[in-house]
Amino acid sequence: MGNIVLKGLSKKFGNVIAVNNVNTEIKDGEIVSFLGPSGCGKTTTLRIIAGLERPTDGKVYIDDKLVSSKECFIPPEKRNLGMVFQNYAIWPHMTVFHNVAYPLKLKKVSKREIKDKVIRILEMVGMKGFEERYPEQLSGGQQQRVALARAMIMNPIAMLFDEPLSNLDAKLRERMRFEIMDLHKKTGITVIYVTHDQAEAMVLSDQIVVMNQGSIQQIGTAIQIYCEPVNKFVADFIGIANFIECKLVELGKDNHSGKVQILGESGKNPIECLIPLSQKVTLDQEGTIFIRPEDITLLPIDKGEHVVQIERKAFLGSIIDYRIKVGKKEWRIETNPGVNLDVGEKVSLHVKKAVFLTK
Amino acid sequence: MKINIQRIIFILAIGIMIILIAFPLALLFYKSFLKENTLSLVNYIDVFSEKNNYLPFLNTLKIGALTVIFATAIGVILAWLVARTDIPFKGFLDTLLLVPYMIPPFIGAIAWTQLLSPRVGYINKIFMKIFDTSQGPFNIYSLMGIIWVMALYNYPFVFITVRGALERMDPSLEEAARISGAGRFEVMKDITLPLVVPAIVSGMLLVFVFTIANFGIPAIIGMRSRIYVLTTQIYRYLRMYTGGFAGVRLAAALSTLLMCVAGMAVFASNLSKKKYAIIVGKSVRPGIIELGNWKYLILAILSVFILITLIAPLASIFITSFLKAWGIPVKLENLSLKNYSYILFGYDYTKIAIKNSFLLAFSAAIITTIIGSIIAYISVKTEIKGRKILDFLTTLPYSIPGTVVAIAMILAWSGQFGVKLYYTFWIILVAYIARYMFFAFRNVSASLEQIHSSLEEAARVSGATWLQNFRDIVIPLIRPGLVASFLLVFMPTLRELTISILLVGPRTITIGTAVYNLQEEGLYQITAALSGLIIVILFIGNYLVRKVINIKTTNSI
């Protein structure tokens, strides 16, 4: 139990397509993040699952039961989900106790049982002793814990998080991430987590659903979407990437590696780079390769073939951020602080890994 | 240098406000305890021992309480419909429902006497024709009549505050309840309603204060059937003794009483100001409830409501203003613009009134905008100690009924202290400035608060002195606020009645008092023409204010 299936889900607001044919399955007990820039449709998808919006097209199944489609609509209060909102949505006219107790009160649970359960769950989120406080007396982090307790008190089928940490400061955000993970471990509940913060998605999730302009771009684990992005959007949105228009001029026998010629740079030596096996490429094919800044090594001039000059340099503590110019494009390279080169110095490039994105 | 100029201006401003406001009000309070130069409660005992006095007091409370109930019911329902349902023509409804806000209540009262006067009111006449009776079913000249008109012209205060709260409420508060298992009805009962209660209460107190302070409606509707309230009774005392001391003394005692009731309501509204943080910064779509087929029924009821409460009174005023004589049938050949040309060019009484009111409104608007801006600047942009006193002095007369302000002015400026302004143009102007300063102050403050201090600091760093900075940076940035504040003082002073009726002399008649006196004398079609003129001017003014405020928000700083 606890699985959620989205089939051909679409939502239009007037002429704007907010969600466009979304298909995915969230398995019981998984943490799945919906990741994407603002306006990509991730929050709308979540709200459709919650029953706060009705889809224009498609179906939502919760626990193998149809809850939303063109004909059928189960209202949010009958879906038994828990939801944590971006701005907490703690009711300002109720104490912490009453906020958390409200779902139970609606179900006509006895007063004693309500008290027991509320105290227990407040203890779990570390808010015991705050029962009589009003929300305005709590910090943002504390309000978020109350929201968490309120969402969990009914033992919902799944928990929905709508950018719950984006209003918190960086340190607290990091701590809350791990607390959410701990809670998930303890309860084993299905979690759908909407965020625009890739680090958050990568820390938390079993699966990440990357969305853009209403459509799913890629579904995969953190490693998959970082190392094997399927398109330019995913590559660009997750982490930093250098994109280079190029042509494949040499293909290794094992199809593991090849050499590319940067377009508009004929005459210069081609750059050798590794291309993952999953990519089917042919000789002379044109496309874009993308290279993560940490996948480029800078070597002395005589050790490599492609000689470039350091244009800019920034020391960032754990790494040094170099900029070089290849053709008309500026590349970004990150090295460990041990590699200390000066601006103007000439070096040669070695690309450890690249992904070839066919056009 | 900066400190010095600011300090001099501050001291000047405090001085002006003490002379204009603190001194007259303190004097009024003191005088109400004074009889034959000894301090006592005799005046109050006099006031309460006589039926002529305690009945108006009870009427005031009764009308205040019932008006609050009706206005709140109308205001809350309308606010909910506009803010939270998918009722069609929302923008249009929103504008229409705020129209009563622009119409002076005493003109509304006149319109309603034209509609519901027992024998000659238009609506009563329709009923008389249909049912063939000699008298219509409604009598405006009654306590219920006063309350009806009061409620119609005061519900916008509830409407505005509640609609604002409903629109700006964070929708996730209600959504969280839905997810928690609450149905639509439970969400409304447990979440929405409790969260807008503070807005409802502050709207109610506003209505109460305005109702008990209102003079025009009970004067035009109530006096004819001898229903007096505090404001009309004060007016009677002054008239009875034609400004003599006995009248002023009794009026002062009643005024203090009125001030206390209003003061308590204002105090209560400040207590209830504890507002929940339900408002979110980002723009949100509030949860809209679909009315389905009810939509058409509700729209029909609303249309009838608007037709009766808004269109009918306006139509009545304008039709009457085109009538060649009062009481003749409404036919095309009986209509003309004669009344308008008469009040504008033919009739000395109204010509003087129009000239006086324009002069008063223009002067009051200019002076309050200048002084109000200075006070606003001190309050918002400086750290001068004592600026809170200035705030308080500026806000005070707004919460005090106009009648009380007028009586205080009579006490202060009728020669006892070497300044004799009573029955002159100047006493009215001084009273207007004291009373309406708050409008200018509030508007300019709001504009100033939007100017980030770094803009001024940048000017100073670039080499501007404090005065140059004020002239070159601050003034241009708040110009829309200044224009709005001018208009927002100009409009209510142009049609002012409550204060001027107590202060006018034979040659200093104002439009408001002219309308009132002509109505009392039964020159209904001339009254209507003068009212029509005011309404047109006020509509234009309100349109300009909206435009100016729109400019302000699009070029927001």
Q: What is the mean pLDDT of residues B83-98?
A: 86
Tokens 């190029």 locate to A246
Q: Which has more pLDDT, B543 or B41?
A: B543
Query: Which range has the worst mean pLDDT, B105-119, B237-251, B343-357?
Result: B237-251
Question: Which chain B residue shows the shortest CA-CA distance from A101?
Answer: B180
- pLDDT of amino acid A23: 95
- pLDDT of amino acid B397: 81
- pLDDT of amino acid B278: 53
Q: Alpha carbon of A79 to those of A44, A176, B173, B180: distances in Å?
A: 17, 26, 18, 9
Prediction ipTM score: 0.81
Q: What is the mean pLDDT of residues B172-181?
A: 91
Let me know if residue B556 belongs to a domain.
yes
Does pLDDT of B246 surpass 80? no
- pLDDT of amino acid B218: 95
Q: Which has more pLDDT, B135 or A37?
A: A37
- The token duo for A355 is 């992904």
Q: Judge: A83–B191 Cβ closer than 8 Å, yes or no.
A: no
Let me know if residue B62 belongs to a domain.
no
Those residues with Cβ within 8 angstroms of residue B458's Cβ, 6 or more apart along the chain or in another chain? none
Q: How confident is the model over A210-269, as pLDDT tens digits?
A: 999 999 999 999 999 998 888 889 998 998 888 888 888 777 777 667 777 777 666 666
Q: What is the mean pLDDT of residues B433-440?
A: 91
Chain A CB contacts of B276 under 8 Å are: 92-93, 136
Cβ–Cβ contacts within 10 Å for residue B35, how many?
16
Q: How close A248 gets to chain B, by Cα (Å)?
A: 49
Q: One-letter amino acid identity for B422?
A: Y
Residues on B contacting A at a C-beta cutoff of 8 Å: 170, 172-173, 175-183, 186, 190-191, 194-195, 276-278, 280
Burial class (CB in 10 A: 0-12, 13-18, 19+), B273: exposed
- pLDDT of amino acid B283: 47
Q: Is A39 on the interface with B (CB under 8 A)?
A: no
Tokens 């290279």 locate to A291
Let me know if residue B38 belongs to a domain.
no
The total number of structural domains that make up chain B: 1
Average pLDDT, chain B: 86
Q: Judge: B186–A106 Cβ closer than 8 Å, yes or no.
A: yes
Chain A CB contacts of B170 under 8 Å are: 87, 89
- pLDDT of amino acid B459: 86
> Which SS3 state, helix, strand or coil, does residue B289 take?
strand
- pLDDT of amino acid A276: 61
- pLDDT of amino acid A62: 94
Q: Domain range spanning residue B375? A: 1-29+338-557
Q: What is the mean pLDDT of residues B521-525?
A: 88
Q: One-letter amino acid identity for B412?
A: A
What b-and-e string marks burial along B433-444, b requiring 16 or more CB atoms within 10 Å of the CB? bbbbbbbbbbbb
Tokens 């409606």 locate to B217
Interface test with B, best of A79, A81, A85 (most B CBs within 10 A): A85
- pLDDT of amino acid B555: 41
Q: How confident is the model over B8-39, as pLDDT tens digits?
A: 888 888 898 888 888 998 888 888 777 777 77
> Which SS3 state, helix, strand or coil, does residue A243 take?
strand
Interface test with B, best of A44, A62, A87, A117 (most B CBs within 10 A): A87
Q: One-letter amino acid identity for B162?
A: V
Most confident of B143-157, B163-177, B317-331: B143-157
Q: How close A98 gets to chain B, by Cα (Å)?
A: 11
Let me know if residue B467 belongs to a domain.
yes
Q: What is the DSSP letter of A278?
A: T
Report d(CA B408, CA B23) in Å as an integer: 9
Phi, psi of A94 (to 5 degrees): -125, 150
- pLDDT of amino acid B281: 44
Cβ–Cβ contacts within 10 Å for residue B170, how many?
22
Q: One-letter amino acid identity for B414?
A: S
Nearest by CB: A136 against B170, B195, B277: B277
Least Cα distance to A224 among A233, A234, A214 occurs for A234
CATH number at residue B375: 1.10.3720.10
Chain B CB contacts of A109 under 8 Å are: none
- The token duo for A322 is 């170099």
Q: Is A114 on the interface with B (CB under 8 A)?
A: no
Q: How confident is the model over B304-317, as pLDDT tens digits?
A: 999 999 999 999 99
Report d(CA A311, CA A306) in Å as an integer: 15
Tokens 């629109």 locate to B167
Report d(CA B434, CA B428) in Å as an integer: 10
* pTM, 2 dp: 0.82
- pLDDT of amino acid B550: 65
Longest dimension (CA), chain B: 83
Q: What is the mean pLDDT of residues B121-148?
A: 87
Q: What is the DSSP letter of B335?
A: B
Q: Judge: A89–B176 Cβ closer than 8 Å, yes or no.
A: yes
CB contacts < 8 Å between A and B, how many?
Answer: 71
What b-and-e string marks burial along A230-251, b requiring 16 or more CB atoms within 10 Å of the CB? beebbbebbbebbebbbbbeeb
Report d(CA B191, CA B210) in Å as an integer: 30
Q: Judge: B195–A92 Cβ closer than 8 Å, yes or no.
A: yes
- For residues A174, A180, A184, A186, the Cα torsion angle rounded to the nearest 10 degrees is 100
Query: Which range has the worst mean pLDDT, A333-337, B170-174, B323-327, B470-474?
Result: B323-327
Report d(CA A343, CA A341) in Å as an integer: 7
Handedness of CA A288, A292, A297, A298 (dihedral sign): positive
Cβ–Cβ contacts within 10 Å for residue A340, how many?
11
Cβ–Cβ contacts within 10 Å for residue B453, how many?
9
Least Cα distance to B442 among B384, B385, B497, B484 occurs for B484
Q: Which has more pLDDT, A264 or B223?
A: B223
Least Cα distance to A161 among A295, A287, A46 occurs for A46
Let me know if residue B119 belongs to a domain.
no
Those residues with Cβ within 8 angstroms of residue B556's Cβ, 6 or more apart along the chain or in another chain? B450
Q: What is the mean pLDDT of residues B506-514?
A: 91
- pLDDT of amino acid B275: 55
Q: Please, which pLDDT band fits residue A1 given cuts at 50, 70 and 90?
A: low
Q: What is the mean pLDDT of residues A48-62?
A: 93
Q: Judge: A102–B182 Cβ closer than 8 Å, yes or no.
A: yes
Nearest by CB: A92 against B179, B183, B276: B276
Nearest by CB: A154 against B181, B191, B276: B181
Pairing of strands A242-251, A286-291: antiparallel
- The token duo for A351 is 């690309």
Number of residues assigned to chain B: 557
Q: How confident is the model over A88-131, as pLDDT tens digits?
A: 889 988 999 999 999 999 989 999 999 999 999 999 888 999 99
Those residues with Cβ within 8 angstroms of residue B4's Cβ, 6 or more apart along the chain or in another chain? none
Let me know if residue B186 belongs to a domain.
no
Interface test with B, best of A13, A93, A114, A192 (most B CBs within 10 A): A93
Nearest by CB: B280 against A75, A87, A160: A87
Q: Please, which pLDDT band fits residue B553 given cuts at 50, 70 and 90?
A: very low
Q: How confident is the model over B101-129, as pLDDT tens digits?
A: 888 999 999 999 989 888 778 888 888 88
Q: How close A147 gets to chain B, by Cα (Å)?
A: 9
Most confident of B61-70, B258-267, B429-438, B548-557: B61-70
- pLDDT of amino acid B273: 57
Report d(CA B154, CA B206) in Å as an integer: 9
Q: Please, which pLDDT band fits residue B500 given cuts at 50, 70 and 90?
A: very high
Q: Is A86 on the interface with B (CB under 8 A)?
A: yes
Question: Which chain A residue shows the shortest CA-CA distance from B172?
Answer: A89
* Binding-face residues of A in 171-190 toward B, CB within 8 A: none
Q: What is the mean pLDDT of residues B439-446?
A: 89
Q: Is A108 on the interface with B (CB under 8 A)?
A: no
Q: Alpha helix (H) ranges present in chain A?
A: 42-50, 96-106, 111-124, 140-152, 170-187, 198-204, 222-227, 232-237
Region of B286 (left: φ > 0; alpha: ψ -120 to 50; beta: rest) is: beta
Let me know if residue B324 belongs to a domain.
no
Report d(CA B94, CA B543) in Å as an integer: 14
Cβ(B17)–Cβ(B376) below 8 Å: no
Q: Which has more pLDDT, B544 or A24?
A: A24
- pLDDT of amino acid B366: 95
Question: Which chain A residue shows the shortest CA-CA distance from B186?
Answer: A106
Q: Judge: B177–A81 Cβ closer than 8 Å, yes or no.
A: no
Burial class (CB in 10 A: 0-12, 13-18, 19+), A267: exposed
Cβ–Cβ contacts within 10 Å for residue A3, how many?
17
Let me know if residue B463 belongs to a domain.
yes
- pLDDT of amino acid B381: 82
- For residues B140, B141, B146, B147, the Cα torsion angle rounded to the nearest 10 degrees is -60
Query: What is the SS3 string spanning B371-392?
Result: HHHHHHHHHHHCCCCCHHHHHH
- pLDDT of amino acid B436: 92
| Percentage of chain B exceeding pLDDT 90 | 36
With vertex at residue A341, the alpha carbon angle to CA A336 and CA A343, rounded to the nearest 5 degrees, is 125
Q: Judge: A107–B175 Cβ closer than 8 Å, yes or no.
A: no
Q: Is A338 on the interface with B (CB under 8 A)?
A: no
Q: Is A14 on the interface with B (CB under 8 A)?
A: no
